[in-house]
Chain A
Amino acid sequence: MNKVNRSIMWLALVVIGILAFLSVYGAFLGSQQAKEFFNSVPATIYWAVFTLLLIIGIALLRRLLRVPALLLIHVGCVLILAGAIWGSEAGHKLCKKLFGIDKIQTGQMKIYEGYSNNRVILENNQQAEFPFYIALKDFQIEYYKPEHLYIQTLQGESWMFPVEVGIEFSLGDEFGSVKILKVFENFKITIDGESRTIIDDTGPGSNPALELRFKSPDGQAITRYVFERFPGHTQSDDELLLIYRRIISDFVSELQVVRDGQVVAEKKIEVNHPLHYGGYHFYQHSYDSDEGKYTVLLVTSDSGLYCVYTGYLMLCLGVIWHFWLRHIVNRLKTKKKNKIKFKWQ
């Protein structure tokens, strides 16, 4: 190994070691602070040096050029770093300055059901506008079935029952039994003079609840209501603690992209299934947990993303080729050679 190559290798060892150390340091900082740290000016210089070193290595180290798998690995790393720099805040600013491309890097959109919006709230709380509108046709929260009712005594004994209307569940000799009479999506009490009526309101709002009928061993029946939002809600003399629990399986927003009054794209987005349009990805991020009236979308630019993905593909192929396939091929070749030798002997 000549002097230049040795220097490059030494530098590579140092740069990799520094990144490993900084990764551990960043883990102690927490996600937000680590993001700021790795996007700071000194870190940007470090990333530039790392990328440059990789490029110099590829150009000068003959072994990298001779072994295609190693070349793939190193070029893949360059593409990942280049794509990451391109997609960063600094990369977006640079693109705006050099090419006049003004893209929003990341932000959030709050859209009410039945309405459309083109305004994005940026990370610095400023607003930006898209040249198109995103309309929310429908927003739904899906739950795992069956939902569950948990009952606990003051002594710590507990039961878990699936929410099935009309079925009676035993609570043992001491507490008798419980039956679920009704499931409410939006429990409300209407007061008309002195009479109170319990209804499942179909209007806006959400207050999931269960109507339960407890039957004591001596045959006495009482009615109780348990609310999803107020676990353990019982009357002061009740011996049983009640919990109504539903587990969310998915959030679904039905979106339309409207440009010049025309619907140009449409998609039901959910977690792991974002919408891609106009150089941006739209993700299901949050929702109105009180009334389910609006959804919050996370918007991210796709700048540099495909460069990063190409890098990933090259890195994967290179690593698999170099560490697995090469050895398998060599082994097969040796086996073949040995067979031929055997025949000749």
Chain B
Amino acid sequence: MAIKYTYQGLLIYLTIAAYFLAFLARIAGFKKTARTLYLAGFIVATVSFGYRSYHVRHVPFQNLFEVFLAMAMVIYPLSIFCRRLLQVGGEAADMLIGAILLVPAGFVFRAEPQRLPPALQCWLFTPHVAVYLFGYVIMAKAMVQAICQLKNNKVDVDTSLDSYEKGTYRMICLGFPLLTLGLLMGSWWGKLAWGDYWDWDPKELWSLASWLVYVEYFHVRYMFGKRYPRLGSCLAILGAVVIVITLLWVNLSRLFSGLHSYAT
């Protein structure tokens, strides 16, 4: 764990502070202040992402440091989109997720800029990573809704929003096509770069496992949705856990060396 004494580090710490203060203000009931801080955090996160893009001279999706910067940036627009259009709450949790996402980027991951290796110089690089990072943030929101449902079956505090079960379902409906696109684009890219659309690489297998957990969720919801709504929520949580393993453990552990090892 090390503090980054750079402009990039400063921007990260400012974003963490803004998101975390927004979270505290939100749970204390200062809704307006919380939203202003949240917006400020998003602006700093965007500047931070832009600064990184300028610094490395390519879309900064190459390693975990850059992906976490991007995820912390997209959480704000996703939060607004979900609240206004999908009637799914969890704004306070989003603020906390945003702050948590930046902790490893600020203190753990290495930030040295790297050149893109030949395999990553493909037009599929940006859309493949982008759909996955959006998908992962959405599935994290789904997990929050699922946890709320397991803890309390009542409707969200904000009465304009739908129940947690519906919230979980809507988030998974939003995120599942992104996971599908990510998986298939990755497979297509694998064929172009490595000669096979499926290499049985640990990262590929974990991604498939997470996709299958959500496939199982839809089938379970169709079969037992009304009788056992909590079963679906358990699967939504399991899906998010598998995603965390796919994103972090597979890249950081020596146990899973494979074709995606450059993404650390």
Contact indicator A249/B195 (Cβ below 8 Å) = no
Chain A residues in contact with chain B, CB under 8 A? 1, 6, 9-10, 12-13, 16-17, 19-20, 23-24, 26-28, 30-32, 34-35, 38, 84, 106, 144, 247-251, 270-274, 281, 283, 285, 298, 300, 305, 308-309, 312, 315-316, 319-320, 323-324, 327
Chain B residues in contact with chain A, CB under 8 A? 115-119, 121-122, 173-174, 176-177, 180-181, 184, 187-189, 191-202, 205-206, 208-209, 212-213, 215-216, 219-220, 222-223, 242, 250, 255-259
Contact indicator A312/B213 (Cβ below 8 Å) = no
Chain B, interface SS category = helix
Contact indicator B121/A31 (Cβ below 8 Å) = no
- B119 contacts which chain A residues (CB < 8 A)? 271-272
Given contacts A13-B219, A312-B188, A323-B173, contact A249 B118 (CB under 8 A): yes
A and B contact pairs by CB, cutoff 8 A, 21 listed: A6-B223, A9-B223, A13-B220, A20-B208, A23-B209, A23-B212, A24-B205, A28-B202, A31-B199, A31-B200, A34-B205, A106-B195, A271-B121, A271-B193, A273-B192, A281-B191, A305-B197, A308-B197, A312-B187, A315-B184, A324-B173
**Complex Cα spacing A249 to B181, Å:** 27
Residue from the set A6, A84, A272 with the largest chain B CB neighbour count within 10 Å = A272
- B196 contacts which chain A residues (CB < 8 A)? 106, 300
Contact indicator A250/B184 (Cβ below 8 Å) = no
Closest to B181 in A: A316
- A270 contacts which chain B residues (CB < 8 A)? 118
**Complex Cα spacing A31 to B201, Å:** 5
- B223 contacts which chain A residues (CB < 8 A)? 1, 6, 9-10, 13
Closest to A251 in B: B118
- B194 contacts which chain A residues (CB < 8 A)? 283
- Pick from B173, B184, B216: contact of A316, CB below 8 A: B184
12 additional contacts (CB under 8 A) given A84-B198, A251-B118, A316-B180: A1-B223, A9-B219, A10-B223, A20-B208, A24-B242, A27-B209, A27-B256, A30-B258, A31-B200, A31-B201, A34-B200, A315-B180
Chain A nearest CB, measured from B88 CB (Å): 13
Closest to A20 in B: B212
Contact indicator B255/A28 (Cβ below 8 Å) = yes
Contact indicator A323/B177 (Cβ below 8 Å) = yes
Contact indicator A26/B200 (Cβ below 8 Å) = yes
- B197 contacts which chain A residues (CB < 8 A)? 305, 308
- Pick from A1, A30, A298: contact of B202, CB below 8 A: A30
Closest to B184 in A: A312
Given contacts A24-B206, A28-B255, A315-B184, contact A16 B216 (CB under 8 A): yes
Given contacts A300-B196, A315-B184, contact A247 B202 (CB under 8 A): no
Residue from the set B180, B200, B206 with the largest chain A CB neighbour count within 10 Å = B200
**Complex Cα spacing A312 to B198, Å:** 13
Given contacts A272-B118, A272-B193, A285-B195, contact A31 B258 (CB under 8 A): yes
Contact indicator A298/B195 (Cβ below 8 Å) = yes
Chain B nearest CB, measured from A243 CB (Å): 15
**Complex Cα spacing A35 to B198, Å:** 9
**Complex Cα spacing A47 to B191, Å:** 21
- A24 contacts which chain B residues (CB < 8 A)? 205-206, 209, 242
Chain B nearest CB, measured from A134 CB (Å): 15
**Complex Cα spacing A251 to B193, Å:** 12
- Pick from A26, A27, A312: contact of B250, CB below 8 A: A27
Contact indicator A327/B173 (Cβ below 8 Å) = yes
- A23 contacts which chain B residues (CB < 8 A)? 205-206, 208-209, 212
Contact indicator B219/A320 (Cβ below 8 Å) = no
**Complex Cα spacing A165 to B201, Å:** 44
**Complex Cα spacing A13 to B194, Å:** 33
Contact indicator B184/A9 (Cβ below 8 Å) = no
Contact indicator B121/A272 (Cβ below 8 Å) = yes
- Pick from B115, B195, B198, B220: contact of A281, CB below 8 A: B195
Contact indicator B222/A9 (Cβ below 8 Å) = yes
- B115 contacts which chain A residues (CB < 8 A)? 144, 247, 249
Chain A nearest CB, measured from B97 CB (Å): 22
